[in-house]
Amino acid sequence: MLTNKIKWNKKQRNMATNSLDNILKTALSYSNDNAFRQDVYYLAQKVFSLSYSDLLIERQKIFDDTIFIQYLNRYLSGEPLYYILKEAPFMGFDFMVNQNVLIPRNETEELTKLLIDEINDNNIKQAKIIDVGCGSGCIAISLDLLIKDSIVTGVDISSKALKVSKKNSQRLNAKVNFYLSDCLDKVIKRNERFNYLISNPPYIDQNSFVQKSVLNYEPPLALFADNKGLAIIEKILKDLDKVLLPKGKAYFEISPEQIDDLIVIIKSILPNYNFIFKKDINDFTRFLLLEKE
């Protein structure tokens, strides 16, 4: 855990300006960790508005490093980089984030890509899709932007999260319909049906170990669920059949330890559904796919 605060020496601090080479060398001297190095590069790119290749070739260029040092100190104190920058990358887009929404994760990009491939490879037209627990809107908005003719809805129980997703939809010129719903309760009341449901629900068991920077900054509502982390996915599965059109499919992100419990739940609630689990890029079973007969 890095706790040291950056203190530039007198010469370096002289005019709040510094060469990029000096700024990066000083920052990187705080850790040899590869993830730290990548984050420092990303921070420099964002703060100084540079591309990755600029970072390599503009080393002698002089910058005002005041903001960079402030941000780096917050990062060294444990604050997640993307909350400091107020935006996070997902599927090639930059999403506004704050502490009311989860920071989009790489695994969730994989889940989103699975659904995009399913729809594009099968040439499905005007796919109606719902994202349950939309948070920042990263999944729903990416689907809207990357699948031609798709009709996308996003729901969340948090009105504060919905404020962020609606803003992201505007910023990125998407046309997602976002509204408040406790899982599928409101969706069923509105009598809406979909070809696809996608969800990255809160799935962490309350007793699991969670990194300090996640625990201290990310919203608990987005992370934890009762019943070994299964409460929210189980509630969605109980209502799945009411919102899926014939031959409809559902895509979930899950925790690898939940497979056995999920098999029991699915066999009892949705006996007529086919289902498979898929692994993520790190070889963890991370996705559950269901298909209505």
Ligand X SMILES: C[S@@+](CC[C@H](N)C(=O)[O-])C[C@H]1O[C@@H](n2cnc3c(N)ncnc32)[C@H](O)[C@@H]1O
Which residues would be at the binding site for ligand X (CB under 6 A)? 101-102, 104, 108, 133-136, 138-139, 156-158, 161, 182-183, 200-202, 221-222, 232
What does the alpha-carbon distance between residue 110 and residue 254 come to, in Å, rounded to a whole number? Answer: 12
CB of 252 to ligand X, least distance (A): 11
- Residue 212 burial by Cβ neighbours in a 10 Å radius (0-12, 13-18, 19+): exposed
Q: Which is nearer to ligand X, 180 or 245 (CB)?
A: 180
Please say which residue, 50 or 202, places its beta carbon nearer to ligand X.
202
Three-state SS for 33?
Answer: coil
Degrees, nearest 5: CA angle 221-226-228:
120
Minimum distance from residue 203 beta carbon to ligand X (Å) = 7
**Per-residue CA distances from 162 to 98, 133, 154, 266 (Å):** 12, 10, 9, 29
State which residue, 221 or 254, has the beta carbon closest to ligand X: 221
Q: Residue 127 or residue 176: which is nearer to ligand X going by CB?
A: 176
Task: Tell me the closest approach of the beta carbon of residue 158 to ligand X, in angstroms.
Answer: 4
Q: Are 159 and 212 in contact (CB under 8 A)?
A: no
Closer to ligand X at the Cβ: 39 or 234?
Answer: 234
Helix (H) or strand (E) holding 111: helix 106-121
